[in-house]
Structure formats: structure tokens, C-alpha cells
């Protein structure tokens, strides 16, 4: 498929853990600028698929390409540098650091690498410059998600929902083209849920592409134009929300567990 129209292409992806096959020959692609849903019963392999795409796990087999480049097995920060990031189902903030410090932590490594490659004269000036740039970007993100008033609080004091906002704000620090969201709404109250969905749509309107794991079918129906259904590690069906919810195999997969 055309890499311009489908920035993310997953082909025959497989991941085994000892005797468990978590992802079993999964193939799919995600359209440019889309908000694509990835659904499936618990244990279907959604998070493992995200882990394989973003370099957290090395796939046992298969290929992942992003914008036509083979990124299979690359390190997460290398993949992030190419413009593909994800959020975690369980937010990964450091509780004993402030919200702002957490924001600054995310992209440090990438900036560090860019600096290593830079010419040495003027290095100090560039470090300061990039720190300032990062700081400005952190504030912009915190304002965008309306958690800037929490910047100096320890992340450990945030509510579950506020943590989800921070997780998302952090993922956006590197200005990615595509974001994989692993249950960003889990444990979030309706007000914050509304806010998160609104921000996702705003970002999408600005050109970002999203692959979105969510178990609430109403949320999928109301927000995604395309849905991929996983079951037992494989892609069972895909199509519009309407198509997949009327698909007998999908209904059976959910009811049959
Ligand atoms: P989902 O996100 O769709 O609920 P997961 O990808 O988390 O599913 O899990 C798919 C399967 O792989 C499950 O059976 C799970 O127990 C197993 N699994 C996931 N991660 C690991 C791991 N690190 N080690 C062993 N088994 C795992
Ligand atoms: Mg999961």
C-alpha cells in the first residue's frame, strides 16, 4: 500500500512469550490523518501489538514500516525520532518528580542524541537553547491539556484522570506525526474523557494520525471512522464502526470471550 496514504503498515506480525502466542500473524495498516480504533476482547494482543510497533518488544516475526521505512525491532527512542510514539495503558509518570519535570524527561534522550552528533564548538549554547525550547513546548502542552496549574505538583499527587492527561501531553513532547493510544480513557471521569477526546480531535484536525485502543464501543462508534478488530492475536475484521459491530464473527468473539 502507498506509504503516503498509510503511514503505518504492519505485516504478518507475531510475538510469542515462551509458549504463549500473544500476536499471531496480524496484518493491518493505518490511514494518514485517521482516528482508527483497535478493539478486541481482553488478551486479544492489542497492547503487545503496540509494544512491537513502538520497539518496546522485538517481534518474533513480521514487519513494521512507518512512512515506508522498516522500523521493525528498532529502539523506542529511534522510532519516536521518526515521528511515531505511544501512550501506555498504565501511565508511566515518575511520581516523585513534578509534572513539569516529567514533561522535560520524555524527549531528553533524543535531544541528547542530536547534540552528540552536533559539532562541538557552540555546544553549550545549544544545550541552553534546546532546554529553553523544550521548556516552552512543555508549557504549551500543559496548557493545551489544561494541566498547567499542576506543573509544580508532584506527579504522584495527580488523580487517575490527570495522569492520563499528563501521559498524553508527554507523548506529544516530541511533536510526533502518529500516536498510538492504549486505553487513554480507562479510569477517566466523563468530564476529563470529554476533554481528552476533544484534544484528540483537535490534534487530528492539525494532521496527526491516531491508532486508538478503547473498550467502550460507544466511544469507538462516535469517534473512529475505521476500526480494526483483534481476537486471539489476529485481525478478525476491519471496517467502519457500523460494519464491524454488525459482523457476526465480531459479536461471537466478544460473547464467546
Ligand atoms: P490486550 O492488550 O488485547 O488485552 P495483551 O497484548 O496485553 O492483550 O496480551 C495478549 C496475550 O499475551 C495475553 O495472553 C497476555 O497474557 C500475554 N502477554 C502479554 N505480555 C506478556 C509478557 N510480557 N509475557 C508473557 N505473556 C504476555
Ligand atoms: Mg491491553
Residues 140-181: pLDDT tens digits? Answer: 999 999 999 999 999 999 998 999 999 999 999 988 999 999
Q: Could you tell which of 13, 20, 52 is best to mutate to test the pocket of ligand 1, judged by most ligand atoms within 8 Å of the CB?
A: 20
Which atom of ligand 1 is found nearest the CA of 40? 3
Which atom of ligand 1 is found nearest the CA of 230? 3
* pLDDT band at 217; cut points 50, 70, 90: confident
Interatomic CA distance for residues 203 and 97, integer angstroms: 27
Interatomic CA distance for residues 8 and 6, integer angstroms: 6
ipTM greater than cut 0.95: yes
| Interval between CA 125 and ligand 2 midpoint (Å) | 43
Ligand located closest to 183 CA: 2
- Evaluate: CB of 143 within 6 angstroms of ligand 1: no
3-state secondary structure of 10: strand
Half-sphere exposure of 106 (CA within 13 A, CB side): 29
| Interval between CA 141 and ligand 1 midpoint (Å) | 31
- Evaluate: CB of 83 within 6 angstroms of ligand 1: no
| Interval between CA 86 and ligand 1 midpoint (Å) | 17
Cβ(101)–Cβ(39) under 8 Å?
no
pTM assigned to the model: 0.90
Sign, CA dihedral 65-41-213-170, equals negative
| Per-residue pLDDT reduced to its tens digit, 111-139 | 545 545 555 556 666 777 778 889 999 99
Sign, CA dihedral 15-176-28-6, equals negative
Say if residue 205's pLDDT is above 90.
yes
- Evaluate: CB of 22 within 6 angstroms of ligand 1: yes
CATH numbers and ranges of domains, the chain: 8-256 (3.40.50.300)
Ligand located closest to 233 CA: 1
Residue 67 exposed, middle or buried by CB count within 10 Å (0-12, 13-18, 19+): middle
Residues in Cβ contact with 216 at an 8 Å cutoff, skipping those fewer than 6 apart: 185
Which atom of ligand 1 is found nearest the CA of 15? 12
Amino acid at each position: 500500500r502507498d506509504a503516503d496514504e498509510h503511514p503505518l503498515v504492519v505485516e504478518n506480525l507475531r510475538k510469542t512469550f515462551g509458549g504463549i502466542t500473544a500476536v499471531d500473524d496480524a496484518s493491518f495498516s493505518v490511514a494518514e490523518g485517521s482516528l482508527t480504533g483497535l478493539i478486541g476482547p481482553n488478551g486479544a494482543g492489542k497492547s503487545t501489538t503496540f509494544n512491537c510497533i513502538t520497539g518496546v518488544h522485538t517481534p518474533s516475526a513480521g514487519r513494521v514500516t512507518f512512512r515506508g521505512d522498516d522500523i521493525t525491532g528498532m529502539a523506542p527512542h529511534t522510532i519516536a525520532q521518526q515521528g511515531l510514539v505511544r501512550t501506555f495503558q498504565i501511565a508511566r509518570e515518575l511520581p516523585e518528580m513534578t509534572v513539569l519535570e516529567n514533561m522535560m524527561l520524555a524527549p531528553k534522550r533524543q535531544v541528547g542524541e542530536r547534540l552528540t552528533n552536533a559539532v562541538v564548538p557552540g555546544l553549550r549554547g545549544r544545550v541552553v537553547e534546546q532546554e529553553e525550547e523544550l521548556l516552552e513546548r512543555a508549557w504549551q502542552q500543559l496548557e493545551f491539556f489544561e494541566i498547567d496549574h499542576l506543573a509544580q505538583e508532584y506527579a504522584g499527587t495527580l488523580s487517575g484522570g490527570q495522569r492520563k492527561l499528563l501521559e498524553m501531553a508527554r507523548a506529544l513532547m516530541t511533536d510526533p506525526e502518529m500516536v498510538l493510544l492504549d486505553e487513554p480513557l480507562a479510569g477517566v471521569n466523563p468530564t476529563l474523557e470529554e476533554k481528552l477526546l476533544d484534544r484528540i480531535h483537535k490534534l487530528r484536525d492539525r494532521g496527526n494520525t491516531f491508532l486508538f485502543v478503547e473498550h467502550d464501543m460507544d466511544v469507538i462508534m462516535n469517534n473512529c471512522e475505521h476500526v480494526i478488530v483483534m481476537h486471539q492475536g489476529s485481525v478478525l475484521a476491519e471496517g467502519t464502526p457500523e460494519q464491524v459491530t454488525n459482523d457476526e464473527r465480531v459479536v461471537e468473539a466478544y460473547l464467546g470471550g
